[in-house]
Amino acid sequence: MPGTEILLVDEEMEGARLDAFVAEQLDELSRSLVKTLIESGEIRVDGKQQKPSYRLKAGEEIIVEIPAVRELELKAQDIPLVFIYQDKDIAVIDKPKGMVVHPAHGNWENTLVNALLFHLKDLSGINGELRPGIVHRLDKDTSGVMVVAKNDMAHRQLAAQIKDHSINREYITLVHGIIKENLGSIEAPIGRSKQDRKKMAVIAGGRPAVSNYQVLERLGNYTLLRVKLLTGRTHQIRVHFAYIKHSVVGDPLYGSGKKQLGLDNQALHAHLLGFKHPSSGEYREFKSNLPPYFECILSDLRNKH
């Protein structure tokens, strides 16, 4: 939504990059759009234009001028989508494994956004011209339930729930090793890895992150878990379980890097999404069953044990 936002930097966020800070504080803006706004002078720190990589200091004031959204130029593509639910405000979809959520440099086609533009007449424009309707995202190889906003009102309402961590998000994942406790919680701050900028890591001074888990089944040297996120950091489940030495099976970034159980990528599925409907305020829950590849892995493990 066009307008002006004012952000204050507290001591906890001192040293954070300007682009990362703004993108985290204003969930409705993509990181790429934030970078564009900084470079065009529409995001200023204490009245001065800075670079996206500028390191913030406590007490600084950031002014964000959000421009009107330009017309979309993305290609609508007839890509099959499974719709769990939709009405005038939202669409809930079952995202398949292997589908990128939104276009980016070098990958302009065959994304969820390209498919949405074909199947839906209306999508919110708050998140910029490359991410119409996208309120939150799943990694390319994470399957499961996602909600899409069809108008700016719905987008703002859902983004606010994401920001205050009131959305209920549960995942099913298979991890290495046997987790003995039936219930547990991982509370460890997450930030950009200082050793590898492509990765996230548990680091001092990172953003607070909490993952609660329940053991569903123990299968040989693997554990099947239901994980509930109390925060929504990038790669949170993958980072947290790698941190406690129970990496997600098949994870190419945070695991061993070797193919496991026939998987090229992480065994992670967004099973449940619950939120207050943007118009009615009624709490709604939507679920996605485990995809066939995941069920086959579990079936094979059960037959062996």
Q: What is the mean pLDDT of residues 166-184?
A: 97
Q: Is the pLDDT of residue 72 over 60?
A: no
Band of the pLDDT at 75, cuts 50, 70, 90?
A: confident
Q: How many other C-beta atoms can be found within 10 angstroms of the C-beta atom of residue 50?
A: 19
87 labelled catalytic: no
Q: Is the pLDDT of residue 196 over 60?
A: yes
Least reliable range by pLDDT among 24-38, 63-77, 138-152, 165-179:
63-77
Predicted local confidence at residue 71, as pLDDT: 45
Q: What is the mean pLDDT of residues 88-92?
A: 97
Band of the pLDDT at 128, cuts 50, 70, 90?
A: low
pLDDT tens, position by position, 95-113: 999 999 987 655 678 899 9
Predicted local confidence at residue 106, as pLDDT: 59
Predicted local confidence at residue 236, as pLDDT: 96
19, 89, 94, 139: the active-site residue = 139
Predicted local confidence at residue 127, as pLDDT: 67
Q: How far is CA 237 from each of CA 34, 228, 230, rounded to the nearest angstrom?
A: 25, 9, 11
Enter the pTM of the model.
Answer: 0.77
Judge contact between 299 and 224, C-beta under 8 A: no
Contacts of 302 (CB under 8 A, 6+ apart): 219
Q: How far apart are CA 304 and CA 56, in angstroms?
A: 54
